[in-house]
Amino acid sequence: MSGMKNGVNTDMKIRTLRRHIKESLRSVGRNGWMTFASISAVTVTLLLVGIFLVLMMNLNKVAGDIEKDVEIRVHIDLTATEEDQQALRNEISAIPEVESIEFSPKDRELNNLMESLGEDGKVFSMFEQDNPLNDVFIVKAKEPQDTMMIAEKIEKMAFAHKVKYGQGTVEKLFKFINVSRNVGIVLIAGLLFTAMFLISNTIKITIVARSREIEIMRLVGATNSFIRWPFFLEGLWLGILGSIVPIILISVIYKYVIDYADTKLAGHFIQLLDFSPFIYQVSGLLILMGALIGVWGSLMSVRKFLKV
């Protein structure tokens, strides 16, 4: 922004910038109820967007955790010899998408079963002498999405008695996550658009109230950019002010939720995102969104008043 543009000196002097800032702040204060309405519109929108964002990010995280936990349990045929087991193991390892393969002997399987059933599991102790369970290979995929494909391949192998990976459940989960992501993105976009529209309209009313001032500015030879600056800044302040309440609310609520979830989810593989840096990132994003909404809204409405 320097030099002569179309003959009008466009150098932004510090003094002028100070004037614009003062002017915009004064206007924020002077327009009492309009300011309140604008800020409220940003606040409501950002609160909804923020909550949605936090939910989506956590859903993503949880989905990721669950995805990571998806494993294929290959029950080895009871008739398989050690050589057969080794051959099966080699064959599974040869699948490029497989990340790890772990052997779980049938004794361990029985213990796990008994433990998972608690008191009632003790009835199974009679099987300790003659264990009817299979030895199991626990296979993990590099990419959780490949689980089904790997399971299908293993099913065709010799001595793979049964292949289990939570058929149906895994597919449903993946589908749910994908649908939620898309719905979330669409909803956030819709909310943002609504907010911008609201701001644009609110600032338009502010500008109508100041149309006399703009008219006089134009009469005495103010450049368009000079006229635009205070409105640009006013929009910026409204947007930033509008992001304060959502940030505080979301931080406080998230802190509470996380503390609650920690006690409830303790010992589970599912975990919510840590407060830091997640909430700081969300806060930054909300401030940025507020600023963009405000600036965009004000520039949209000031444009039509600047026809020369």
Partner 1 sequence: MIEMRGVYKKYPNGIIAANGIDVKINQGEFVYVVGPSGAGKSTFIKMMYREEKATQGTIIINGINIGNLKNSKVPLLRRNIGVVFQDFKLLHKLTVFENVAFALEVIEEHPKYIKRRVMETLDLVGLKHKARMFPTELSGGEQQRVAIARSIVNSPKVVIADEPTGNLDPDTSWEIMKIFEEINTRGTTVVMATHNKDIVNKIKHRVIAIEGGMIVRDEERGEYGYEN
Question: Least CB distance from residue 6 to partner 1, whole Å?
Answer: 4
Residues 2-41 vs partner 1: string with x where CB under 8 A? ---xxxxx---x-xx--x----------x-----------
Residue 3 or 7 having the CB closest to partner 1: 7
209 near partner 1, rule: CB under 8 A: no
Question: Least CB distance from residue 237 to partner 1, whole Å?
Answer: 19
In the window 227-286, what residues touch partner 1 (CB under 8 A)? 227
Instruction: Determine the Cα–Cα distance for residues 289 and 276; give it in Å rounded to an integer.
Output: 20
* Size of interface with partner 1, in residues (CB under 8 A): 25
Question: Least CB distance from residue 28 to partner 1, whole Å?
Answer: 14
In the window 211-230, what residues touch partner 1 (CB under 8 A)? 212-213, 215-224, 226-227
Question: Least CB distance from residue 8 to partner 1, whole Å?
Answer: 6
Residues that bind partner 1 (CB under 8 A): 5-9, 13, 15-16, 19, 30, 212-213, 215-224, 226-227, 308
